[in-house]
Structure 1
């Protein structure tokens, strides 16, 4: 069963964004870029490395470089369930 985005964030996943630079198959001197984004776990980044392995095995454009960033949107200590509401006036 797939987890919702909130469940993933509460389990320690953060948003990972990678900019992948690769060479065009027919024109090796031309660099192109591709943006990849998914929820992943730092510092191992298993989903990012799985995608890079897929790229190297299945896509013809050889990789030049990969630049990525990771940000935790929420952590278990920051989230709390509010049950009531207090109104003034």
Structure 2
């Protein structure tokens, strides 16, 4: 049986990591970080946006910033031609 994550990668999903900074509810002067990771579609990020909407609706810590990194794990190979030969004795 093929895993759900592998099927998503074949459909164009890539691994998305978001670093979320939010203010502590009891201490608004302090920032706390939360790392979120899932497979998502760039550049629209529908799954991340759904999670952030859930955060705003259900959690007390207001968002301060969100930094996103994304990489497709299944992609065409990269080929670099080498021009030159080095001979070592």
TM-score range with shorter-chain normalisation? 0.7 to 0.9
Unaligned runs of 5+ in 2: 78-89
Unaligned runs of 5+ in 1: 79-89
1:43 to 2:40 alignment: no
User: Partner of 1:38: helix, strand, or coil?
Assistant: strand
Bigger Cα Rg: 2
Give the root-mean-square deviation of aligned CA atoms.
1.2
Q: Which consecutive aligned stretches of 4+ in structure 1 deviate over 3 angstroms post-superposition?
A: none
Match of 1:25 in 2: 25
Q: What CA deviation, in whole Å up to 9, does each residue of 1:47-73 have, x standing for no partner?
A: 000000000000000000000100000
The number of equivalent residue pairs is 75
User: Partner of 1:61: helix, strand, or coil?
Assistant: coil
1:11 to 2:11 alignment: yes
